[in-house]
A and B are shown apart, each in its own frame.
Chain A
């Protein structure tokens, strides 16, 4: 039954009998550290925006468990096609937070060379595919990458993420349909955080769940407690194992809640009641995982301080560095449109660089997303 919600940790952090995935103590502590780092990263991002040092940020508070649990269940060669609310996934895949801050500042050291809004990361080394803003476009792309893996006889999988809003997109439909038809080794992961900016889940679909939609496409659909890192880990491991063994895609629906605003430009008090937020506050994924670790004697104050203060210090220093790096040079704007610059584009570049050098340009970097 897709309406059954799989979980490992109870709300009090205790483990359901016999459900614990096979993870070492070190790995469990690492999960916790990454969740704390994710929250610290989001806090840093929002603060930088509020201080006017970056133009925009998009936080994932409340969704740390599903990001980290998911990432740790994958293999290094697996590819991911993330949605934009995934800082914890990037961190847990091994991306250096300093590189993420370079992207947020759009500086000269950014892998995207200052060409995208904050949080639209691209990290080739971690097979973390460049993010775009339109919803759902990356879902069939993940299927294509998975088809290519299968074509080459490899054992890797592709995973792609969408929010509950993303399940309404045409990319979701074609992605799931193509994925199932070709039995592609792909995992469709929905972080159902209940809100697509201001539109609640019940206005996205009349289906009883996201997971139930899998049946119509001809693949398994599972629901999992998205605030339970271990349950998410287990679900992604299972789906990965199916995909790696030629059994095709799985749709996972992780139930969670977007604790913060959609972005630094959003005010959720305009559309959702505080009581709902307070209810979810009690299900905080980090606190629950801390209870679990405490029960296993894997947590103490010293470890907490190490996680919290270590994260903060690291991010504070990295943000300072990223800010110092400065913007990319004007001529870089014209690079990489094509592998080789067409003659007409080279003329445009030369014209602009000439004007910039002679000091005739009057445009100013306002540095602010005006919403």
Chain B
């Protein structure tokens, strides 16, 4: 078992899948010779040939559209969208085509594919290299959405996504590609089930429910809260769809207080869905109103990025608010 970053785990999973399954092909802008702008596919074309790992013309609708055709025909394409911010020209292909084939054809045609896209802020990329648009896709029956937060999970969830019979949008929080930590990642074929959340820190006073890079900010806030004798449970959703509702309700029942932390714009964000589920099914255990700490309802800014993104201080402030209600 070797230690790896999240980025290394992506590469490891792709390599493992290419080696195991001849149906797997990787396509996207710059994924070939240069190994992707983040180097997620580094060395894969050299090892597996241009037939398996290839560059595409610069058109996201074409990348996803052709990948759909390959999936319909029986391959397991893994298209890369260079930044999630660039996926919108392919939105129709993702939400009305890939996600709908199984249903609309009565199961005659299916679309097993994994769309990988780096997401989120924190790299000073401005509006067009920073968005977290998971909520648009969460509104799409037929699509699964995964967002890993640790290296081992990255490998395990990506391989599960590649094995899955339905299309998966695999969102990689690029801010933590290299940073934060390395950890041991199991060798060979290793999977983590989709649709299962993980408790990253156990606690009894308040639950912080989060996903993506924000989970690490929540853990930092939990550490600071501990200094004030507040015990924080941090739940990492890992999958946005299917959502592990049981885990959400369980942590709420453990603590009776909830902060939802995400970096996308607040209004209509996926945190709203979490809040609604809790209000519908666990309102009786709530000791305080649900609090959301999110990005603001502005486009993602460049210079003031560090102020836009929720930080440990803002999460801690919300923790204080619900604990002292």
Contact = CB atoms under 8 A, between A and B. Distances in A.
B51 interface: yes
A147 B52 CA distance: 11
Nearest to B165: A339
Interface stretch (A22-30, A168-176, A293-301, A303-311): A168-176
B103 A337 contact: yes
A356 interface: no
Interface in A328-358: 336-339, 342-344
Interface string A114-150: 0110001011100001101010010111111111110
A338 B107 contact: no
A178 B104 contact: no
Nearest to B73: A148
Interface residues of B, number: 47
Interface in B34-83: 51, 56-57, 59, 61-62, 64-75, 77
Contacts of B51: 151
A149 B102 contact: no
A79 B73 contact: yes
B238 interface: no
Given A170-B61, A174-B59, A337 B75 contact: no
B89 interface: yes
A139 B243 CA distance: 33
B72 to A, nearest CB: 6
B67 A338 contact: no
A111 interface: yes
B93 A151 contact: no
A137 B96 CA distance: 9
Contacts of B242: 338, 342-344
A111 B106 contact: yes
B183 interface: no
A137 B57 contact: no
B69 A144 contact: yes
A144 B66 contact: yes
A177 interface: yes
A178 B70 contact: no
A112 interface: yes
Contacts of B66: 140-141, 143-144, 147, 178
Contacts of A110: 106
A127 B159 CA distance: 29
For B61, B69, B102, the residue with the greatest tally of chain A CB atoms inside 10 Å of its CB is B69
**Interface size bracket, A side:** 35 or more
A174 B61 contact: yes
Given A111-B106, A112-B105, A338-B144, A147 B70 contact: yes
Contacts of B69: 81, 140-148, 158
Contacts of A171: 61, 65
B96 A134 contact: yes
Given A112-B104, A115-B104, A145-B72, A344 B243 contact: yes
B101 interface: yes
Contacts, number: 141
B19 interface: no
Given A132-B97, A145-B73, A148-B74, A178 B103 contact: no
Contact of B108 (A81, A120, A124, A338): A124
A66 B97 CA distance: 27
B142 A338 contact: yes
Nearest to A328: B106
A180 to B, nearest CB: 10
A151 B110 CA distance: 19
Contacts of B59: 173-174, 177-178
A61 B68 CA distance: 32
B62 A130 contact: no
A337 B102 contact: yes
A113 interface: yes
B57 to A, nearest CB: 6
Contact of B106 (A336, A338, A339): A336
Contacts of A325: none
A344 B245 contact: yes
B104 A116 contact: yes
A196 to B, nearest CB: 18
B107 to A, nearest CB: 5
Contacts of B110: 339
A112 B72 contact: no
B142 to A, nearest CB: 5
A264 to B, nearest CB: 21
15 contacts: A123-B108, A134-B92, A137-B97, A140-B65, A141-B66, A141-B68, A143-B66, A144-B73, A144-B77, A151-B25, A151-B51, A170-B61, A181-B57, A339-B165, A344-B243
Interface of A: 79, 81, 110-113, 115-116, 120, 122-124, 129-130, 132, 134, 137, 139-149, 151, 158, 170-171, 173-175, 177-178, 181, 336-339, 342-344
Across chains A and B, which 6 residue pairs bring their CB atoms closest together, nearest first?
A144-B69, A140-B65, A174-B62, A144-B66, A130-B105, A148-B73
Given A137-B93, A148-B70, 11 more contacts: A115-B106, A120-B104, A124-B105, A124-B109, A140-B68, A140-B93, A144-B65, A144-B66, A144-B70, A336-B102, A344-B243
